[in-house]
Amino acid sequence: MTEHQKILVECLRRTRLLEAGLVTEHRSFWFQPDLEYEAEHGPIWHAGKWFGGGERLAEAQRQRFVRSLHQLAASGRVVLARKGGTHVTNVRLTASGRVEAERLSAGVKVSEIVTVSAESAIEAPCRRT
């Protein structure tokens, strides 16, 4: 599976979690505006969290994902959001990107995608004690 395909499939997975009301990153009460922003602009983009299992990726590998992401945006399959700066913060699938991601995810082996259990992908909100 290419970097382009991995990005589309993972973006679809994270988008579905957002649509279901499940939080994909660690959040607390104070991050509610970010959830609204994510609902509008797509999941938060972070190559290491998406494809490195939470660990940092090697720089060459991270750059391949970043270049692939920009190529997907140029081809009209994703829309990139840059909240308050020049770096990509969120990624949203377009209609054509979603169709392609659904087609890919239907024929994808689970082992080809980063294997993250549902418990580790969805963290409960922080609570002060």
Q: Which tens digits make up the pLDDT trace of 59-101? A: 999 999 999 999 999 999 999 999 888 889 899 999 999 999 9
Write phi, then psi, for 31 (nearest 5 degrees): -95, 15
pLDDT tens readout for residues 7-66: 999 999 999 988 887 765 555 555 566 778 888 999 989 898 889 877 788 999 999 999
In whole angstroms, what is the distance from residue 105 CA to residue 112 CA? 10
Residue 20 is predicted with a pLDDT of 85
In whole angstroms, what is the distance from residue 20 CA to residue 97 CA? 19
Residue 108 is predicted with a pLDDT of 58
Residue 125 is predicted with a pLDDT of 40
Locus of tokens 């973006």: 11
